[in-house]
Amino acid sequence: MNPDNIVVFLDSIQRTIIATQAAPSTDGKLAVTKPVVLNVQPTPDKKLQVQLYPLFFREFTADRDEFAKWFYDKSVIVMSDVQLEPNLIAQYKQMFQTQNVTANTPVVKLFDDEKN
């Protein structure tokens, strides 16, 4: 098993999902937080580029400090016991690290506040 309850599975449309198991699964569902889609694509120089995309951006939630739970029906996903490469696990964990914001930290606005 991967460290820190990290699980790997294929969802119902065959995307590879990496997530953190939130609690013991019950009622035929897998409960996870911090799900990401693993995307692999070839580059022009015939190498593979690996990217992780959040399934849902925390910036769109009312409470950005909480990670939502996602429930996957076990009858429509494919679980795996694959051991992930340490660099991929590090990249996954880094995506969800919180940063301390100080008074001097610039604010990045996702949406325009001005009305047109």
List pLDDT tens digits, range 68-81: 899 999 999 999 99
Q: Is the pLDDT of residue 116 over 60?
A: no
How much of the chain exceeds pLDDT 70, in percent? 86
Ordered alpha helix ranges (H), the chain: 86-95
Q: Tell me what pLDDT residue 73 has.
A: 94
Report the Cα 30 to chain-centroid distance in Å.
Answer: 15
Q: Which of 67, 82, 58, 69 is nearest to 10 (CA)?
A: 82
Assessment of whether the complete model's pTM goes beyond 0.85 = no
* pLDDT tens, residue by residue, 32-59: 999 999 999 999 999 999 999 998 887 7
Report the DSSP pairing between strands 70-73 and 29-42.
Answer: antiparallel
Mean pLDDT of the chain: 86
3-class SS of residue 3: helix
In order of their start, the domains of the chain are 3-95 (2.30.30.100)
